[in-house]
Structure 1
Amino acid sequence: MAPSVHRTLDDHSGLLLHQLIDNAYDGIYITDNIGNPLYFNEAFLRISGIPVDAARRLSVWELLDQHFLPNSCVAEVIRRNQPHNTIIHYYSGIEAIVTGIPVYDTEGALLYVVASVRDITELNRLRREVEAMRTQAELRAPLRVQLIGDKADEALVYRSAVMEKILTFAARAATVDSPVMILGESGVGKDVLAKYIHAQGENGQERPFVKINCGAIPAELLESELFGYEGGAFTGANRRGKAGMFELAHRGTIFLDEIGEMPLALQVKLLAVLQDRQVQRIGSTRPTPLDVRVITATNADIKDLLAKKAFRQDLFYRLNVLTVTVPPLRDRREDIPALIAYFLGEYNRKFGLNRYLAPEALQALLDYSWPGNIRQLRNVMERLVVLSEDDRIGVEALPGEITRGDPSAPGQVQERLHPPTDDRLTLREAVAQFERRYLQEQLIKHRTLRECATALGIDVATLVRKKKRYGL
C-alpha cells in the first residue's frame, strides 16, 4: 500500500476499498476541506511526478507554492465549493485530465475533496498521429510536379486544370523560337515557367539560360549589362570590354524579367536587336549575330503602360507573339494544398525533420488569400518547418497575417504595421521586423518595383536587396 496519511479502517469493506484504490490505473488524491492530504495511490505519484515525502507532508497550496504542481484541480474545488475538471501538464511531462469532486456532510459543509487523475499523454499522442494521418492524406492527394532544377523552388507544382493548360502551352512554345511574354502578379512563378520553356526546348538543359531583372538594375547601367561594351567605351569601363547578356545567351534563352520597367530609350535598342537578330556593343562598330530565344515577363498592367506611353507599341507587338497569363493562387485554390505538401516535404527532407500540419493549421493556410503567391507560401512553409518547437505545427505557429485573414483587407494594415512590442527584441531586431512588414505591405500595394521604390523614397536596387534579405 502506498505511504499515506489516512484514518485506519477496520472493516473488510475498508480494506477492499484501499486495495481497489491502490491498484487503480488512474491516480487518486484525497484531501480534507482545506487541502491537507489524506490519501493518494501509487498511480498519482507516477503521473504527477511528486516525491512521496512532499505528497505526504504538503498541502495543495504548498505544492503549488513550491512548484511541485503547475495548477491544482483540488484547489479549484475548495475555492469554488463545486466540482471542477481541468487538464494538467505535470512537470513530469505527463498530461492528465483531473476531475475533482467535493464530499459534503449532511448539513452541506465540505468534508473532503476526491480527485481522479487520468493519464492522457498516450491518448493525445494517438490523436495527434490520427490528425497527422488525416492531414497528410489530404496533402497526398494527386499532385503534378515538373522538376526543372535541383532546388525546391525550381519546380512547377499544381493540381488545377488552368495550370495544366499553361504547361501544355509552354510545351508547345518550347518547340519554336518565337518570343514568349508571361504576365502575372509578383510571386506566381513566372521565372520558373520561363525556365521550364527553356528546358523543354531542344537541348535546353545544355544551353545557356540568362536572366536579367530590368527593374533591379539602374537605368544608366542596364544598357551595358544587356548589350555589353568595348574596352574604354566609357569612364570606368573594363579595359578588355565585357560581353552583354544577349551575347552570353547566344544559342540559348534570355529572360527579361520586369520588362515593363525598361526605360523607353533602351526599348528602342531592344527592338532593333530583336528585329535584326544582332547586337552591337557600346563603343563598337561591329554587330554580333545572335541566335537567342527571348522570353519576357511583367507583373505590370501592360495595357496601362501602353496607354500612358510608358511602353512602346512596336516593341509590345514584337514581344507579344506567344502570351500567357499565370493566375494568382487565390484564383486557383486547388493548387494551394499541392504546394503546401510539396514544400513541407522538401523542407522536412532538407533539414532532416518530420513536421506535419494540424488540421486547423492546414485549414487556415487553405483559407488564406496569399497576396504574395507562391513566393510567400514557400517562405511561410520554410519558416514553419524550421521554427516549430514540435513536429505538430499548430495554428498558433502561423504568422499573424494568416490567422488574422487577408493582410490587404480593411483594418488589417494598421494591425500589421503596429511597431513590435516584444521587449526581448533588440532595437535592430525590432526595426527589421517593422521594415519587413512595411515593405511587404508596399509591395502588395504597388504593381511594379520602380513604382514601389519611388513611393518608399529609395532606388530600385536598394528595394531589390531588401526584398532578398527579408525573403519577400
Structure 2
Amino acid sequence: MKASEIASKNFLIHSGKTQLSELLGCNQLEGKDFILIIDEVEIKKVLSINTILRELLLGHENISLSEISGEAFVCINSGKFALDILNLDANLVVVIEDNKQPVGIINNLKTIKRFQAVSSTYIKDICHKLYIYDKIHECFEEEIFLSDDNGNIVKINPEAERVMGIRASDVVGKHVSELVNNKILSSSTTVEVLKQKKKVNMLQTVRDGSIRLSTGVPIYGEDNKIHYVLCTSKDVTELVELRKNVEANEITLEQINKKLDLLQEEVFAQINFISKSKEMDYIKQTIRKVVNMDLTVLILGETGVGKEVVAKTIHYLSDRKNSNFVKINCGLIPRNLLDSELFGYESGAFTGANKGGKIGKIEIAHNGTLFLDEIGEMPYDLQIKLLDVLQDNHIVRVGGIERIKVDARIIAATNRDLQQMVKEGTFRKDLYYRLNIIPINVPPLRERLEDLPLLVEYFLKKINTRYHMNKKLNPLVLNEFIKYDWPGNVRELEHLLERMVIMSDSDNVCPKHFEDIININAPMSGKVICTDIIPYKLAKRELEKQLVIKAYEMYKSTYKAAKALEIDQSTVVKILQKHK
C-alpha cells in the first residue's frame, strides 16, 4: 500500500501572505484538518485548523498565515510505501509528488485509525440502543413517567401526553406534585415510591374521569440510592369490562349448570332413580362427576338396593347414551356358558354352537356400556380374560384367534365383599383394583328412610297403571313401612306393594294387608297358608317368583338355589330372567 493511499486529502493550500480574515468566508475551513503554506513550489509551513481557530478566537484576524507558528513535519514521496512512514521520526507527514505538489497528509495514522474504528463502533452501538429505547418509549401502549430522585419529571412518552392532555415540553423539569395540584392526576405514584422506597401499585383518576392502574418502580444506582422512579400506568376500563364479562359468563354458566342439573334430574326420574336422602344425593353427585370419564365403576350394595338403576343412570347421562346398555348377570348364567355369552364364539367352537358363530355381550356393548351384575359370581378363570379386556380393549371369541377391538365402558356390581373374596383367593386382586377405580356404595333402604315415601308413591302409581287400578295407600301403612327392616330393600318394597294392592279387596290399602303378608311375629312353619282368594294362575306365578327369588337371594348362586328348591338350574335361570 502506497503512502498516498492512506493520506488524508483534508487540507488547503495558501500562500504565506494570506490573511486569517480571508479564511472566514465561504466555509473554506469546513471539513479540513490542515493548511499548507506554499511559496512557489516549496512547502514552508503546515498549520493545523485547530491552530487557525485558536488565532481567530484570540482576535488575530488581521495577521498573515506566515506569522503563525506551524507544525513540525516531513515530506515523503507518494511512491513510498506506507510502512516507510514508521521509520520517520515525525508526527506529521506530507505526501508529495515528484514535482513537490502535495497530495495528502498523514497525522498519527495508526493511533487515529485504531481509535476511530473503536470509537465509531461504540458510538454507533450507543446510538442504535438509544434509537431502540426511544422507539420502545414512543410505541409503548402504557403511559410512562420517568422522574429523578427529587420527583422532578425527566421524560414522558407520547401515550402519557395523549392520555393526560399535556405536552412533554410543559412538564419536563417540573415536580410531579404539580400534576396533582393542577388536577391532571388524583395522586402521584412517584411520591409514594420515594416515600416507601419500594415498588408501589395504586389507582389514579385522570382529569377526563378514566381510572388508571399505576405501577411505580425505584431505580437504584451503584450507591444503593434511588436515582430515578419509573412509573407506568394503564387504563383499567378494559379490565373492569372484562371482570363484568367474566361475572356475566359466570352467571350464564351457573344458569347452564342449573339447566343441566334439571335435565339430569329428568334422566334420574326416567330411569326410576327415586330419592331425596342425603345418602343418595351424594351418589348423584358422584355420578355427575364420572359420567363422561371412561373409568370403570364398581357399584356395591345389598340385594335389591338399586345397583342396576345406578348403572343405567351413568350410561344414559354419559356421551355413550345413544349406544347399547348391555346387562349380563354373572350369577344367572351357568359357568360353562358365561364365557361364550361374554366373548362370543366362532362357528364350530363347541358342540351345539350356531353356524356362523355369535357375537358376545362385550361386542354388543361396543361404544356403549357393559353392566356386569353379580361380578362376584364370575368364575376365576374368566376373571383374567375380563382383566385383559379392561387393559387392552381387545377380545378373542371362543374358538377364534382374531383380536377384535372393543370400546365399552365397564360397570360392575355385587352384593358380596370382594375384598374378603380376594383374601380367600376366590377373586383376583388385580381385577378387583382395576374395577374399584370409582366405587359407589348404595346404602340399604333401612338407612335412607327419607326415600321411602317417594318410592311408595312411585311404585303405587306404577302398579295401578299396570293392573288398571286406582288404589290408594292408607297413611298408617307408611308408618308400618318405616318400622320394617326391609331386608330385600327397594325390590322387596316394590313386590310387597304389588301383593298388597292385588290382595286388597277395597280401593284403600290398609295396614292389615301389610301385616298379613309380612306376618312379622309368626315364624315360618314350612306350610303355605292362604289368607285370601286370588286367581289360581296368579297365585301360582306369584309363589313361583317368590320362591326362586328368595332362594337366589339366600344362596347367591343359581346352582345352589336350584338344589335347595329341588329343580333344574335352567328352570331357576328362566324364572329369574322372567321376573328380573
Fold similarity call, TM over 0.5: yes
Shift of 1:442: 3.8
Structure 2 CA distance for aligned equivalents of residues 343 and 252 of structure 1 = 29
Q: Cα 1:391–1:192, aligned 2, differ >3 Å: closer, same or farther?
A: same
SS in 1 for 2:449: coil
Shift of 1:465: 3.0
5+ residue gaps, structure 2: 1-262
Shift of 1:447: 4.6
Q: Does the alignment pair 1:369 with 2:499? A: no
Structure 2 CA distance for aligned equivalents of residues 453 and 364 of structure 1 = 34
Shift of 1:422: 6.6
Q: Cα 1:180–1:458, aligned 2, differ >3 Å: closer, same or farther?
A: farther
Partner of 1:191: 308
Spell out, residue by residue over 1:311-345, the C-alpha distance to the aligned partner (whole angstroms, 9 max, x if none): 11111111111111111111111111110011122
Q: Does the alignment pair 1:321 with 2:437? A: yes
Partner of 2:412: 296
SS in 1 for 2:376: helix
Superposition map of 1:19-168 within 5 A: 146=265, 148=267, 154-168=271-285
Partner of 1:243: 359
**Count of aligned pairs between the two proteins:** 318
Shift of 1:160: 0.7
Aligned partner of 2:393 among 277, 299, 303: 277
Q: Relative to structure 2, which stretch is displaced further, 186-195 or 230-239? A: 230-239
Partner of 1:180: 297
Shift of 1:185: 1.0
Contact 2:445 2:490 in 1 (8 A): yes
Partner of 1:217: 333
Structure 2 CA distance for aligned equivalents of residues 346 and 434 of structure 1 = 21
Shift of 1:217: 0.8
Spell out, residue by residue over 1:272-318, the C-alpha distance to the aligned partner (whole angstroms, 9 max, x if none): 11111101111222101111100001111212211221111111111
Shift of 1:463: 2.5
Q: Cα 1:448–1:371, aligned 2, differ >3 Å: closer, same or farther?
A: farther
Structure 2 CA distance for aligned equivalents of residues 272 and 319 of structure 1 = 12
SS in 2 for 1:242: coil
Q: Does the alignment pair 1:398 with 2:537? A: no
Structure 2 CA distance for aligned equivalents of residues 265 and 180 of structure 1 = 22
SS in 2 for 1:418: coil
Contact 1:215 1:258 in 2 (8 A): yes
SS in 2 for 1:354: coil
Structure 2 CA distance for aligned equivalents of residues 428 and 381 of structure 1 = 19
Structure 2 CA distance for aligned equivalents of residues 195 and 333 of structure 1 = 23
Q: Does the alignment pair 1:232 with 2:342? A: no
Shift of 1:230: 1.2
The code of the aligned residue for 2:275 comes to Y
Q: Cα 1:210–1:436, aligned 2, differ >3 Å: closer, same or farther?
A: closer
Spell out, residue by residue over 1:348-380, the C-alpha distance to the aligned partner (whole angstroms, 9 max, x if none): 344443321123222222222121111111122
Structure 2 CA distance for aligned equivalents of residues 259 and 440 of structure 1 = 18
Contact 1:210 1:255 in 2 (8 A): yes
Structure 2 CA distance for aligned equivalents of residues 145 and 413 of structure 1 = 45
Structure 1 CA distance for aligned equivalents of residues 401 and 548 of structure 2 = 44
The code of the aligned residue for 2:372 comes to L
Aligned partner of 1:414 among 513, 524, 527: 524
Structure 2 CA distance for aligned equivalents of residues 413 and 440 of structure 1 = 19
Spell out, residue by residue over 1:6-45, the C-alpha distance to the aligned partner (whole angstroms, 9 max, x if none): xxxxxxxxxxxxxxxxxxxxxxxxxxxxxxxxxxxxxxxx
SS in 1 for 2:326: strand
Structure 1 CA distance for aligned equivalents of residues 544 and 522 of structure 2 = 16
Aligned partner of 1:384 among 491, 496, 500: 500
Partner of 1:260: 376
The code of the aligned residue for 1:231 comes to S
SS in 2 for 1:344: helix
Aligned partner of 2:458 among 339, 342, 353: 342
Structure 1 CA distance for aligned equivalents of residues 411 and 267 of structure 2 = 17
Contact 1:148 1:195 in 2 (8 A): no
Contact 2:348 2:354 in 1 (8 A): yes
Structure 1 CA distance for aligned equivalents of residues 296 and 447 of structure 2 = 26
Shift of 1:240: 0.9
Structure 2 CA distance for aligned equivalents of residues 394 and 171 of structure 1 = 39
Spell out, residue by residue over 1:447-471, the C-alpha distance to the aligned partner (whole angstroms, 9 max, x if none): 55555445545565433333456x5
Contact 1:227 1:247 in 2 (8 A): yes
TM-score using structure 2 length: 0.50
Q: Cα 1:350–1:178, aligned 2, differ >3 Å: closer, same or farther?
A: same
Spell out, residue by residue over 1:30-76, the C-alpha distance to the aligned partner (whole angstroms, 9 max, x if none): xxxxxxxxxxxxxxxxxxxxxxxxxxxxxxxxxxxxxxxxxxxxxxx
Structure 2 CA distance for aligned equivalents of residues 464 and 330 of structure 1 = 29
Q: Cα 1:464–1:369, aligned 2, differ >3 Å: closer, same or farther?
A: farther
Partner of 1:358: 474
Structure 2 CA distance for aligned equivalents of residues 447 and 412 of structure 1 = 26
Contact 1:361 1:394 in 2 (8 A): yes
Structure 1 CA distance for aligned equivalents of residues 549 and 332 of structure 2 = 17
TM-score using structure 1 length: 0.61
Greater RCO, CA 8 A, separation 6+:
1
Q: Cα 1:439–1:348, aligned 2, differ >3 Å: closer, same or farther?
A: closer
SS in 2 for 1:283: coil
Task: Percent identity, please.
Answer: 40
Contact 1:420 1:433 in 2 (8 A): no
Structure 2 CA distance for aligned equivalents of residues 434 and 347 of structure 1 = 18
Aligned partner of 2:288 among 161, 171, 187: 171
Contact 1:217 1:460 in 2 (8 A): no
Contact 2:291 2:314 in 1 (8 A): yes
Structure 1 CA distance for aligned equivalents of residues 269 and 548 of structure 2 = 30
The code of the aligned residue for 1:414 comes to M
Shift of 1:173: 1.6
Spell out, residue by residue over 1:244-263, the C-alpha distance to the aligned partner (whole angstroms, 9 max, x if none): 11111111110111111111
